[in-house]
Structure 1
Amino acid sequence: MNDQMNTESAAHDSIKRRLLDAYQFRHAVKDFDPGRKISSEDFDFILESGRLSPSSYGFEPWKFVVVQNPELREKIAAHAGGARRQLASASHAMLVLARLPHEMVADSDYISYMLNEVQKLPPDIAEMKRGTYDTFLRTGFALQGNERAMFEWACRQTYLALGNMMTAAAMIGIDSCPMEGFVKHEVERVLTEEGLMDAGRFGLACMAAFGYRAGEAPAKTRRAASEVVEWR
């Protein structure tokens, strides 16, 4: 028993060290090495960490669009001053979309699809969950009826997936950079014209670039734990 406990404890310590090492490794890379490409296997692993991420009620209000076409990246970069360097050099560029408010209301076709086809809930349980969700939207967070708040709520959930993808990448030595430096409506127009986004169902939440850094990372700076965490 003691040997098993010691083995489990050592394994836990190893996982904790690897995870904290990954957070120390990760930083917002501005310039990637354009000559180094992420393997398909590794990027599939990163995407899977996003797909398996948590979301409110498990409704997954996201879509990940991976843009590898250089000409399309240039079109996006024309309206993304804060992402030009990354779009030009990253191995993989991702646009993270969030579902629009009418897609996320309790009686929408999308929510019905999630309850019935994805989560495969029995009809009575599905309707109970739909009712709970409707109450949450109307009185819990009081989101329904406020289009901006509703969309931003969906966007916040996409950041859970994005954070997991960046952590997964860092765990295997791949760099990343989350990006919001873009003109939203212009990039959305490009995506719609290119057939990459259904503007009636999605909006752009954020971008992310993945690859390998082209130089040394700056020293990581963070506030002390005593400033961030408070116990009572």
Structure 2
Amino acid sequence: MYNNDFKEIVFNRHSVKEFDPDVKISQEEMLQMIKEATAAPSSVNMQPWRFVVVASPEGKKKLRPLIRFNTRQNDSSAAMVLIFGDMKCYEKAEEIYSETVEKGFMPEEVKEELMGMFMPSYENALKEKMNDIVKIDSSLAAMQFMLVARTHGYETNPIGGFEEDQLAEAFDLDPERYVPVIIIAIGKAQGIPFKTTRLAPEKITVFK
């Protein structure tokens, strides 16, 4: 059952701390949601987001000591989706841009011009700069994933409290290359989540 009501999806989204532990999500549906989420924009279309879906009891047991005070979500969710930013995402530039050309979305000469412009800056970027780029881009995909999840009938909880220095290596990723961005718990809500308030736009906006 899909929900296509934009206002309901966006404005009734709340962070869920406890899920129905009996609900599972198939790999096929999870991949579909990730596909929809990664329609999000990224700098020069480098798509630096990388996903690790932790759904097995073994995976969750490994994750549990790394998520501090977020164990309820880990224990009850259908899955914990770990989103990393790939510091060497530019290595897929040729693949990404070649497919764009093959599908007729871009001429070959434009591809060559663009890659000649941005590839040197990506390959030679300072670590701090690349870290910012991949985290910003991956955060866009993370937000889109949470909204996509609601269209599929699931709720989510974005989690920033985890052991950043241990997460990649725990799941067999190179910690120098893959930067942990966020963890998203997903499943069917158990109970009614708390509603929250937001600051008025007049308090957070300046017009010049």
Give the TM bin, normalised by the shorter chain: 0.7 to 0.9
Q: TM-score, normalised by structure 1?
A: 0.75
Is 1:224 the counterpart of 2:200? The answer is: yes
- Equivalent residue, structure 2, for 1:130: 115
- State the Cα distance separating 1:179 from its structure 2 match: 1.2
Q: Which residue of 1 aligns with 2:6?
A: 19
Question: Do the aligned partners of 1:98 and 1:203 also contact (CA within 8 Å) in 2?
Answer: yes
**Equivalents in 2 of 1:217, 1:201: separation in Å?**
36
Using the TM superposition, give the Cα deviation of residue 169 of structure 1 relative to its aligned residue in structure 2, in angstroms.
Answer: 1.7
Contact 1:22 1:171 in 2 (8 A): yes
2:98 alignment partner in structure 1: 116
Counterparts in 2 of 1:73-222, with a 5 A limit?
73-100=60-87, 103-104=88-89, 109-117=91-99, 119-120=101-102, 122-134=107-119, 137=121, 144-192=124-172, 197-199=173-175, 201-222=177-198
> Structure 2 CA distance, aligned partners of 1:48 and 1:145?
28
What letter matches 2:178 in structure 1?
F
For the aligned residue pairs, the C-alpha RMSD in angstroms reads 2.7
* 1:33-86 per-position Cα deviation (integer Å, ceiling 9, x unaligned): 212334666544422221322211111111222111112211112121143221
CA distance in 2, matches of 1:109, 1:48: 20
Change (3 A) 1:67 1:230: same
The runs of 5 or more residues in structure 1 that have no matched partner are: 1-14
Q: Indicate the SS of the match to 2:74.
A: helix
- The Cα shift of 1:144 comes to 4.8
Q: Which runs of 5+ in 2 are unaligned?
A: none
Question: Which structure is higher in RCO with an 8 Å CA cutoff and minimum separation 6?
Answer: 2
Q: Give the letter for the 1:226 counterpart.
A: E
Aligned residue-pair number? 202
Q: Hey, what's the Cα distance between the residues in 2 that align with 1:68 and 1:170?
A: 19
Corresponding residue SS for 2:131: helix
Q: Structure 2 length normalisation: TM-score?
A: 0.83
Match of 1:227, SS state, is helix
